[in-house]
């Protein structure tokens, strides 16, 4: 970690312990972690409040690298590489802990890129049953409303079929927040005003969703203001199948999604976010970003705990 990143993680751990959200597992060198805890004036006691998995000396190391090698032996990972990766890749170690039941969930991503972390998650944990794609969804707490956006970090230019699957997964996640999803498929085109490939893509997504999720409230392709303002939408298209203001925004590519999310977060959301939430994984794992705040890490920990509790009612550790 860079110093600012490790401080945010450790301060988040203090809140998690104080609020009894979970018993955290930290992966790293114990002496360094303890030194940093003391430097920041924290009250975490390793071995009591949290567990430290030592990247240099752990009795499970041999079992982990051998299991990883079995998973990847015919996919470009030699024994030597498996040994090396299991020493230096903390996300890989975390994924093995989750996969073997030593942890109930995982949060990573406060350093490096989403795809570097997702690489190891996909190798070890993989996709949930029936899923063919991963995606990232972010939630924004805005004045008077909550907005969810996909796909902000994973798929560069998803196909209509991928976007339809992502939309269905995102809608399921939104319902877990106790919110009924109202889905807008966004575009520079407004209900057929353009035949550009990206506009046609969103029209194709709508047709797929109408077939696969007929009960889902969804419409598009449409402008962002039309999505967020039901009165304006009624003026543009009185017979729209979407009722009320949209709360789940589906963007045509990663550029549009990431830019829209970043602008809304900064200009209107006071940087209060939940996410990125990883959709499509077989276990409760999420890949954050280097800009994740202490509160964002705590929020995502609470989400992982809820996910783990729903999937494994006896779970106690994350």
Task: Tell me the per-residue pLDDT of 278-304, one tens digit each, with 9 for 90 and over.
Answer: 999 999 999 999 888 899 999 999 999
Tell which wins on pLDDT, 83 or 316. Answer: 83
SS3 123: helix
pLDDT-above-70 percentage for the chain = 96
Q: Give the per-residue pLDDT at 308.
A: 87
- The alpha carbon of residue 51 and the mean position of all alpha carbons in its chain are separated, in whole angstroms, by 24
Q: Are 191 and 222 in contact (CB under 8 A)?
A: yes
CATH architecture of the domain with residue range 135-267:
3-Layer(aba) Sandwich (3.40)
Residue 85 C-beta-side C-alpha neighbours within 13 Å: 25
The answer to whether residue 313 scores a pLDDT higher than 60 is no
Structure tokens at 264: 């809304």
Q: What rounded mean pLDDT belongs to the chain? A: 93
Question: Max CA-CA distance within the chain?
Answer: 66
Q: Which residues lie below 8 Å from residue 41, measured CB to CB, with a gap of 6+?
A: none
Structure tokens at 37: 């805890």
Residue 23 DSSP one-character state:
B
Residues of the chain with CATH 3.40.50.10750: 135-267
Q: Which residues lie below 8 Å from residue 197, measured CB to CB, with a gap of 6+?
A: none
Task: Tell me the per-residue pLDDT of 150-159, one tens digit each, with 9 for 90 and over.
Answer: 999 999 999 9
Residues of the chain with CATH 3.40.50.10950: 3-126+281-311
Task: Tell me the per-residue pLDDT of 90-144, one tens digit each, with 9 for 90 and over.
Answer: 999 999 999 999 999 999 998 889 999 999 999 999 999 999 999 999 999 888 8
The answer to whether residue 257 scores a pLDDT higher than 90 is yes
Is domain 3-126+281-311 in CATH 3.40.50.10950, yes or no? yes
Burial status of residue 35 (CB atoms within 10 A of its CB: 0-12, 13-18, 19 or more): exposed
Q: What is the value of pTM for the model shown? A: 0.91
Q: Give the per-residue pLDDT at 54.
A: 94
**Among 83, 86, 82, which Cα is nearest to 73's?**
82
Instruction: Centre a 10 Å sphere on the Cβ of residue 52 and count the other Cβ atoms it contains.
Output: 19
d(CA 164, CA 214): 12
The answer to whether residue 315 scores a pLDDT higher than 50 is no
Rg (CA), the chain: 21
List phi, psi (to 5°) of 126: 75, -175
Q: How far is CA 203 from CA 106, 207, 232, 235, in A?
A: 36, 7, 20, 20
Q: Give the per-residue pLDDT at 4.
A: 63
Helix orientation angle between 114-124 and 90-99, rounded to the nearest 10 degrees: 30
- DSSP string covering 150-193: E-SSS-SS--HHHHHHHHHHHHHHHHHTT---EEEEE-SSSSSS
d(CA 17, CA 3): 21
SS3 68: helix
The answer to whether residue 311 scores a pLDDT higher than 80 is no
Q: How confident is the model at residue 310 (pLDDT cuts 50, 70, 90)?
A: low
Task: Return the beta strands (E) in the chain as ranges.
Answer: 25-28, 51-54, 106-108, 135-142, 145-150, 182-186, 217-222, 248-250, 273-279, 285-287
Q: Give the per-residue pLDDT at 316.
A: 46
- Kindly tell me the number of DSSP H helices and DSSP E strands found in the chain: 12, 10
Task: Tell me the per-residue pLDDT of 9-53, one tens digit each, with 9 for 90 and over.
Answer: 999 999 999 999 999 999 999 999 999 999 999 999 999 999 999
């Amino acid at each position: 970690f860079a110093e600012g990143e490790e401080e945010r993680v450790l301060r988040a751990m203090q809140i998690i312990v104080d609020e009894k959200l979970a018993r955290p597992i930290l992966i790293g060198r114990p002496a360094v972690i303890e030194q940093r805890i003391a430097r920041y004036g924290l009250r975490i006691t390793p071995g009591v409040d949290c567990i430290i998995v030592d990247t240099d000396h752990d009795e499970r190391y041999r079992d982990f690298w051998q299991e990883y090698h079995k998973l990847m032996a015919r996919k470009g990972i030699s024994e030597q590489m498996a040994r090396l990766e299991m020493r230096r890749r903390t996300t890989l170690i975390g994924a093995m802990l989750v996969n073997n039941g030593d942890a109930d969930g995982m949060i990573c991503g406060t350093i490096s890129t989403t795809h570097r972390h997702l690489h190891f998650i996909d190798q070890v944990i993989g996709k949930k049953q029936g899923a063919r794609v991963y995606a990232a969804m972010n939630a924004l707490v805005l004045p008077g409303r909550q907005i969810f956006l996909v796909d902000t970090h994973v798929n560069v230019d998803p196909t209509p079929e991928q976007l339809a699957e992502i939309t269905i997964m995102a809608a399921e996640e939104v319902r877990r927040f106790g919110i009924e999803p109202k889905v807008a498929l966004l575009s520079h085109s407004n209900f057929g005003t353009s035949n550009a490939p990206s506009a046609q893509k969103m029209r194709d997504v709508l047709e797929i969703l109408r077939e696969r999720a007929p009960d889902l409230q969804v419409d598009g392709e449409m402008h962002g203001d039309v999505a967020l303002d039901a009165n304006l939408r009624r003026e543009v298209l009185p017979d729209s199948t979407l009722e009320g203001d949209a709360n789940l925004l589906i963007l045509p590519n990663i550029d549009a999604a990431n830019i829209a999310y970043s602008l809304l977060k900064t200009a209107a959301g006071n940087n209060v976010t939940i996410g990125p939430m990883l959709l499509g994984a077989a276990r409760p794992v999420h890949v954050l970003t280097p800009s994740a705040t202490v509160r964002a890490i705590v929020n995502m920990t609470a989400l992982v705990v809820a996910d783990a509790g729903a999937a494994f009612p006896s779970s106690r550790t994350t």
